[in-house]
Amino acid sequence: MTEVQTERAISVVVNGVPREATVPVRWLLSDALRHGFGLTGTHVGCEHGVCGACTVLVDGQPTRSCLVLAVQVDGRQVTTVEGLSRSDHQGGQVLHPIQEAFRECHALQCGFCTPGFLTTIAAGLDARDPSVEITEEEVDEMVGGNLCRCTGYANIKKACRHAAATMRDEAAR
């Protein structure tokens, strides 16, 4: 019969790097990322799915890392905020357009919620046709599941539009 375990070895590809760890089964994915793999870019806010700060991408899909057990991502691909930047093919890294836009538009103040916004919006922008003008509804949907207590959201939404415009220009080139 299927064994009931309290600890299990998992292998996960995190930001393109295969990682292995033995984790208590009660560890959340956020625990494994921060304590198991030392990737503290994923911030844990409410730890019950409300604030969105801990959002990461599991097989490319935005997912609350506090609402998934670490054992459940065995064999999957996880992207954290540390993995949003891309190689510039000259030995360096370039930020994702939404990361650039956050800097450009002053879309963060204390920065605690930022990793969750960046992963969620990056996945949303990457999934859409960049040649089509982004709508307010799309922007609201992308930011609506994340809480920010500093900015009032105006600059975060501005950054979404800014990044969408950048991606449209890049696609047109």
Partner 1 sequence: MKPAPFGYADPTSVDEALDVLTAEGEGAKVLAGGQSLLPLLSMRLAAPTTLVDINRVPGLDQISAGRDGVRVGALVRHAELLASAEAAGVQPLLGRATANVAHPAIRNRGTTVGSIAHADPSGEMTAVLALTDGSVTVATPGGRETIGWGDFFLGPLETSVHGPAVVLDAFFPALPERSGTAFAEIARRKGDYAVCGAGVVVTLDADRRVSSARAAYLSVGLVPAVHDLTDAVVGQPVDSADWTAAGELARGLVDPDGDLHASADYRRLLVATLTARTLADAGAEALARMETA
Q: Give the relative orientation of helices 97-104 and 154-172 as an angle to the nearest 10 degrees.
A: 130
**Which amino acid is residue 146, in one-letter code?**
N
Q: Is the dihedral of CA 156, 128, 145, 141 positive or negative?
A: positive
The answer to the question of residue 68 lying near partner 1 (CB under 8 A) is yes
Query: In terms of Cα–Cα distance, which of 13, 19, 43 is closest to 31?
Result: 43
The answer to the question of residue 144 lying near partner 1 (CB under 8 A) is yes
Please name the residue that has the structure tokens 């809480």: 147
The answer to the question of residue 2 lying near partner 1 (CB under 8 A) is yes
Calculate ∠ Cα 100-119-8, nearest 5°: 140
Q: Which SS3 state, helix, strand or coil, does residue 137 take?
A: helix
The answer to the question of residue 11 lying near partner 1 (CB under 8 A) is no
Q: Which SS3 state, helix, strand or coil, does residue 7 take?
A: strand
- What string marks each residue from 14 to 53 as x (binds partner 1 by CB under 8 A) or -? ----------xxx-x--x--------------xxxxx-x-
CB of 145 to partner 1, least distance (A): 3
Binding to partner 1, residues 71-100 (CB under 8 A): 71-72
The residue within the footprint of partner 1, chosen from 62, 83, 115, 130 (CB under 8 A), is: 62
The answer to the question of residue 136 lying near partner 1 (CB under 8 A) is no
Q: What are the residues facing 31 on neighbouring strands?
A: none
Of 19 and 35, nearer to partner 1 (C-beta) is 35
Residue ranges in contact with partner 1 by CB under 8 A: 1-6, 8, 24-26, 28, 31, 46-50, 52, 55, 58, 61-64, 66-69, 71-72, 120, 124, 140-142, 144-146
